Amino acid sequence: MTITQSLFYFLAFVAIFSSLLVVLVKNPVHSVLYLILTFFTLTGEYILLNAQFVGIVNIIVYAGAIMVLFLFVIMLLNLNVETEPQKTNLLKFVGVITGGVGLAVLTAALKSTDPSNTVVLQNADMGLVKNLGQVLFKEFLLPFEIVSILFLSAMVGAVLLARKEPKQ
Amino acid sequence: MENITNAITLVPLNHYILLSSIIFFIGIIGVLTRRNAIVIFMSIELMLNAVNLLLTAFSAYRGDAAGQVFVFFIMAVAAAEVAVGLAIIVMIYRNTNSIDIDLLDKLKN
């Protein structure tokens, strides 16, 4: 096993471990911190796939912006372990069984396929910003512009929701 | 750069699919078993990230840049969803003083 291969399996192990902890820990703040760790390991996987644009955007958007928003809301609401609502054991059991059965079905379907080839990059610098930008602004120009409208409406919606209602 | 390019040729595509499906189902279990609305949101983020990893792996495998552009769009939609969703959660907390989703059965009656 080469060092890069072992790097993939190490990152995969840390990603699975920390995403399990996101679900398992009681404190929401710890949950957010483990989620950030998961995002960093996934960024490592993107770098291994030579998808540098996706990796950098993952750090900036997810670990930078979205997680700060989560932490800010959790601090604002002053949540901690005491206020953490708990489900009954039956519901937890049912949820774990449902997820486990789904994973088993997907793994079985994956096993019945032919053993896959290794990932070979046909175009080594495909994931660089220059190439992706050309694809984005040539083939996906209309979706890109529609995303800006989506952002505008999301911003207006968030401001409208968070505004205090005037007293009648 | 050359080292990175050679590195990818050693990991089979099946392992990427297995990794992202494990993370996806951890996210599903999180949505089903937690009652805190914010933790449910974070589990949805986990599922979106699993799909992003799968799209990137397939895109690298096929040599098609469209998959990585789709990842960009998924991130944009996720950011918008989080902005609106957290605003809704804050409003729910202001009205009910709790973010327990089991209290939100007002649509039932």
Write the pLDDT tens digit of every residue in A32-48.
999 999 999 999 999 88
Q: Are A54 and B68 in contact (CB under 8 A)?
A: yes
More confident residue, A10 or B14: A10
A121 pLDDT above the threshold of 80: no
Instruction: Tell me the shortest Cα–Cα distance from B109 to chain A, in angstroms.
Output: 23
pLDDT at A82: 64
More confident residue, A92 or B54: B54
pLDDT at A126: 77
Q: Give the count of beta carbons closer than 10 Å to the beta carbon of residue A153.
A: 12
**pTM for the whole structure:** 0.88
Mean pLDDT of A25-34: 89
B5 pLDDT above the threshold of 60: no
Q: Give the count of beta carbons closer than 10 Å to the beta carbon of residue A25.
A: 17
A118 pLDDT above the threshold of 70: no
Mean pLDDT of B14-24: 91
pLDDT tens-digit readout, B34-84? 888 889 999 999 999 999 999 998 888 888 888 899 999 999 999 999 999
pLDDT at A41: 94
Which residue is it, tokens 């040599």? B63
Per CB-CB distance under 8 Å, the chain B contacts of A162 are 87, 90-91
pLDDT at A95: 87
Nearest to B9 by CA among A42, A125, A118, A40: A118
B20 CA to centre of own chain: 10
If you average pLDDT over every residue of chain A, what do you get? 85
> Does B105 contact A at CB distance below 8 Å?
no
If you average pLDDT over every residue of chain B, what do you get? 85
Instruction: Please answer yes or no on whether A127 and B82 come within 8 Å at the CB atom.
Output: no
- Report how far residue B108's alpha carbon sits from residue A121's, in angstroms, rounded to the nearest whole number: 53
A87 pLDDT above the threshold of 80: no
Instruction: Tell me the shortest Cα–Cα distance from A168 to chain B, in angstroms.
Output: 16
- Report how far residue A145's alpha carbon sits from residue B71's, in angstroms, rounded to the nearest whole number: 16
Classify B105 as helix, strand or coil: coil
Q: Which of A41-45, A72-76, B16-20, B74-78 has the lowest average pLDDT?
A: A72-76
Mean pLDDT of A147-164: 90
As beta bridge partners, residue B36 has B100
More confident residue, A134 or B103: A134
> Does B16 contact A at CB distance below 8 Å?
yes
Nearest to B22 among A94, A103, A122 (CB): A103
pLDDT at B12: 82
pLDDT range class, residue A74, cuts 50, 70, 90: confident
Mean pLDDT of A99-123: 79
Mean pLDDT of A37-61: 91
pLDDT at B27: 94
More confident residue, B10 or A48: A48
pLDDT at B100: 79
